[in-house]
Amino acid sequence: MSRLDRVSVMPEPRLPFDPVERAGSLWSEHFGDPTAMRLATSIMRVQQLLLAELDAALRPYDITFARYEVLVLLTFSRDGYLPLSKIGARLMVHPTSVTNAIDRLEAQGLVRREPDPDDRRRTRARITAEGRTLVTEATKALTAIDFAVTGLTGSEQDQAFDLLRRLRASAGDFPEHPSPFTAG
């Protein structure tokens, strides 16, 4: 099924009304202009909806999207390993969450912990051959559903990315100057 076929198939609504629009109306009555609140709330709600769909697509692989992100990050690293602290910083998660994810991935044989030879106080995670195989298969499952971003055309997805990138930059996620990783 192509992206256009999936876009035309409307899923069954979860609620009989738009909860963000309703909150915006109530916000207007109580506090004033709802514009920023509606956008922030919409972004958070979309994140929850996407995460639920992504986790569902990954369920056959017995991993969550959070653990998938760890595997992808390790796959993309030059030597297949990273210190746990760097994983947490790049994924913006608490050290406890990284430890929990690595514990589960290690129990599945997808990563292994090893001491960092450059700093004995640090532990790093290394992706295993099984982890590389799983991330390849899981990626096929996620790309088959267009990472759950099915309500927008490719052009609209690019526009949304650009707008959200500006928000991330203004929040200090990364320097605002052009990245060598983006075209144009």
Could you report the per-residue pLDDT of 103-123, keeping only the tens digit for each? 999 999 999 999 999 898 999
Q: Please say if the pLDDT value at position 144 is more than 50.
A: yes
pLDDT grade for 142, boundaries at 50, 70 and 90 = very high
**Domain ranges, residue 115:** 61-170
Asked whether the beta carbons of 58 and 64 are under 8 A apart, the reply is yes
Asked whether the beta carbons of 67 and 125 are under 8 A apart, the reply is no
Q: How far apart are CA 153 and CA 4, in angstroms?
A: 8
148 in a structural domain: yes
Q: Please say if the pLDDT value at position 64 is more than 70.
A: yes
Per-residue pLDDT at 163: 96
130 in a structural domain: yes
SS3 123: strand
Q: How many domains, in total, are found in the chain?
A: 1
17 in a structural domain: no
108 in a structural domain: yes
pLDDT grade for 12, boundaries at 50, 70 and 90 = confident
156 in a structural domain: yes
CATH number for 106: 1.10.10.10
- Buried-exposed string 67-93: b where 16+ CB fall within 10 A, e elsewhere: bbbbbbbbeebeebbbbbbbbbeebeb
Per-residue pLDDT at 94: 94
pLDDT grade for 179, boundaries at 50, 70 and 90 = low
Average pLDDT, integer, range 13-35: 94
Average pLDDT, integer, range 157-164: 96
141 in a structural domain: yes
41 in a structural domain: no
By CB neighbour count within 10 A (0-12 exposed, 13-18 middle, 19+ buried), where does 127 fall?
buried
SS3 112: strand
Asked whether the beta carbons of 125 and 87 are under 8 A apart, the reply is yes
70 in a structural domain: yes
